[in-house]
Chains A and B, each alone.
Chain A
Amino acid sequence: MYAVRKKTIYAILLLSPLVFIFLSLFIGRYHVPLPAIVEILWCKLTLGYCNLPDTYVSVVWDIRLPRAILGALVGGCLAISGASFQGLFRNPLVSSGILGVSSGAGFGAALAILIFSTTSYIYVFAFFFGGLAVLMSYMIGRVYNTTPAIMLVLGGVIVSSVFSALISFAKYVADPYDQLPAIVFWLMGSLASARFQDIAVAGIPMAVGIAGLLAIRWRINVLSMGDKEARSLGINTALSKGIVISCATLATAGAVCVSGIIGWVGLVIPHIGRMLVGNDNRVLIPASLSLGACFMLLVDNLGRVITGSEIPLGILTAIVGGPFFVYLLKKTKGGGW
């Protein structure tokens, strides 16, 4: 009975982002008849020839589909890394945004644009500074041991505001003609011009991060019991923590590289996941991945539907996420789990 239920949950988790991606294909300014959309998908997937206007094919296959896939990946990455950080630090109030990973990655990217003209170092820098930000937040959080949950959040606030300041500084010293637009464009992020090539490039760090977190998700369960307990169960805590942080940072850096700094998804989605599937990270981690993907697609589609000109993603996620964070603070009273 339990096994059947588990299978159903996994099936739903796997299918729902696909359904959302499929539905995203129907939304946009350009009117494509519904049967045409299905036909295009069918003939593209079977590698056949589409006997339809080029523009329809372009809109559905080259514009909407890559955008939807990338959006799902970004949402999934932010949510899964949020869930992992929450489990790892035994703290319901953290996420990659709160811990400063996003700002750190953003700064790394800006720095890479400043130093090198090519964009190939962006990911390396984003990853490095994202990781640095978590470590700094963690160290600040340990300064004061009485209220670890709040201190970690505070550490994150400090680190992310320092990195935001550094981002502003990078923008300030950047060349206003070439570098500044590149940095601004990059930090603002947008799924609007996503192409399959972008998925190929940005998808690698995101996929590696996701795969890593999925593979060691049971260890997060153990780690979330505390260091002593984890060690007594024979786990190399330092190594496991290192892997979790690296994977979560990699996933976040990949997401930031695609769509800029989008707050709150990583914080809110794992909690919704917990309401649905409970505290067990073995289920929660994949659930967060799936929910994050669906949520991002929902927000992106909303942003496209509400006004003719698109509303940037970060605005909508913050409007939903901010109040939710207050609710969490009240519910947890700033303490631990």
Chain B
Amino acid sequence: MYTKKSTLALILTACLLALLLVAGCAQNNPAGNEAGRPEKQGAVTVTDFIGRQVAVPDNVERIGCLYAFSGHVVAMLGRGGDIVAVVEGLKRDVIMGELCPGIGEALVPASSGAVNVEELLNARPDLVFIRSETAANEGEKAKLEKTGIPYLVVDYRNMKEQMYIVEMIGQAVGEKERALKYNEYYQRCIDRVQERVQNIPLDERVRIYHSINEATRTDARDTLPADWTQVVGAINVSVNEELKFLEDKYFAGLEQILLWDPEVIIVNEAGVADYIMTNTQWSSLSAVKNNKVYQMPIGISRWGHPGSLETPLAILWTAKTLYPDLFSDIDLVAETKYFYREIFNYPISDQLVAQVLSGKGMRAPKGKAN
């Protein structure tokens, strides 16, 4: 009886082992196909946001973008077709769908900062971009390091860092020239606006409130929007104020907003402007009374959003909106066309330009991801 039992156990164990082996092989197979994986020699060394020096193979062919911003940059640099792993949100941008036809099939190995390493391995990327929240977590970092896939941390707190990160991504995917072209345009937009607004005396500068996605979500100090709104010669009322911090986002209180009484409100989400204009709680604001609540354009991302690549366009748009007389010669339609056509190499139609500038319908409806 005893022997019978142990034999059974033995057989079962053997079966289990066999199963494990088969499963292991199945996992190994894709790796086996990677014979053509680039060798380390000839690699470029780049420094990422948290100062890590990473050797990146010089012929990156499969790219993982686990931070939406990095996906936008890779697409801008003309490598959208090589994106093999994304975060869910990237699949829903209308323009992204056209720039990266294969994005619908890309795997989604990350959700709210946590990476599913096995799914990432299935995508077989040569290089992965992650957000700094992920890198701040030791466990996530250790997991990524075990895969052996080089990863770069993408983040920024102001325009200078944003430009650096774009350059870094360009360097890593071998498209540094195009990245520099973007940065050059970026800097030119800053300069064009700066030189005209710098003479505006402090008391004549327009006080603005920037609503991000939700009416009361806004900009805190040391964020990209705090930096670019300052460049356009605006006084951003919420920067340097005490804000409510919830789940990575900053919120202002209604009474705070009334207290600030901004002259102009710019919002980046369709529908929020209507909400503000029709809500009695906001009705006593000067911006509402004077009909100065503006919807910002939405292209690949919401212009001016903390995670947006279209900061240079947001600068031009906001400068023109706040100081129409100073910037009467700036043609937003032409700038928009130039930006997407020359820097993205994306033949944007006139109709789509109008749609971008109106900020409506730029995200695929739910369930209709590209």
**A contact residues vs B (CB 8 Å cutoff):** 28-30, 53-55, 57-59, 62-63, 117, 172, 175-179, 181, 184-185, 188, 192-193, 195-196, 307-310, 312
**Chain A CB within 10 Å, residue with most, of B245, B255, B282:** B255
Q: Does B29 have its Cβ within 8 Å of any Cβ on chain A?
A: no
Q: How far is the CA of A175 from the CA of B111 in the complex (A)?
A: 11
Q: Does B253 have its Cβ within 8 Å of any Cβ on chain A?
A: yes
- B242 with A58: CB separation less than 8 A: no
- A63 with B366: CB separation less than 8 A: no
Nearest CB of B to A258, in Å = 16
- B283 with A58: CB separation less than 8 A: yes
Nearest CB of A to B117, in Å = 17
Q: How far is the CA of A54 from the CA of B215 in the complex (A)?
A: 20
- A195 with B254: CB separation less than 8 A: no
- Residues 356-370 of B, flagged 1 when their CB comes within 8 A of A and 0 if not, give 000000010010000
Residues facing A in B100-144 (CB within 8 A) are 111-112
A172-B111, A175-B88, A176-B88 known; A193-B366 Cβ under 8 A: no
Q: Does B330 have its Cβ within 8 Å of any Cβ on chain A?
A: no
Residues on the B chain within 8 Å of A175, using CB: 88, 92, 366
Q: How far is the CA of A11 from the CA of B62 in the complex (A)?
A: 74
- Specify the chain B residue showing the minimal Cβ separation from A171: B112
Residues on the B chain within 8 Å of A195, using CB: 279-281
Q: Does B256 have its Cβ within 8 Å of any Cβ on chain A?
A: yes
Nearest CB of B to A100, in Å = 24
Residues on the B chain within 8 Å of A185, using CB: 214
- B246 with A177: CB separation less than 8 A: no
Q: How far is the CA of A311 from the CA of B284 in the complex (A)?
A: 26
- B244 with A57: CB separation less than 8 A: no
Q: Does B355 have its Cβ within 8 Å of any Cβ on chain A?
A: no
Nearest CB of B to A193, in Å = 6
- A176 with B245: CB separation less than 8 A: no
Residues facing A in B253-286 (CB within 8 A) are 253-256, 258-259, 261, 279-285
- A309 with B254: CB separation less than 8 A: no
Interchain Cβ contacts within 8 Å, total number: 75
Nearest CB of A to B221, in Å = 14
Residues on the B chain within 8 Å of A59, using CB: 255, 258, 284
- A58 with B88: CB separation less than 8 A: no
Known: A309-B243, A310-B253. 11 other contacts (CB 8 A): A53-B284, A55-B258, A59-B258, A63-B255, A172-B111, A185-B214, A193-B254, A195-B280, A195-B281, A307-B242, A312-B246
Q: Does B66 have its Cβ within 8 Å of any Cβ on chain A?
A: no
Q: Pick the contact of B216: A176, A192, A308 (CB < 8 A).
A: A192
- B214 with A308: CB separation less than 8 A: no
Residues on the A chain within 8 Å of B112, using CB: 176
- Specify the chain B residue showing the minimal Cβ separation from A174: B88
Residues on the A chain within 8 Å of B283, using CB: 54, 58, 62
- Specify the chain A residue showing the minimal Cβ separation from B282: A58
- Specify the chain A residue showing the minimal Cβ separation from B217: A181
Nearest CB of A to B216, in Å = 7
Q: How far is the CA of A179 from the CA of B214 in the complex (A)?
A: 13
- B87 with A63: CB separation less than 8 A: no
Nearest CB of B to A64, in Å = 8
Residues on the A chain within 8 Å of B247, using CB: 184, 188
- A29 with B214: CB separation less than 8 A: no
Q: How far is the CA of A57 from the CA of B282 in the complex (A)?
A: 11
Residues on the B chain within 8 Å of A312, using CB: 246
A175-B88, A176-B88, A177-B92 known; A57-B279 Cβ under 8 A: no
A192-B216, A192-B253 known; A62-B88 Cβ under 8 A: no
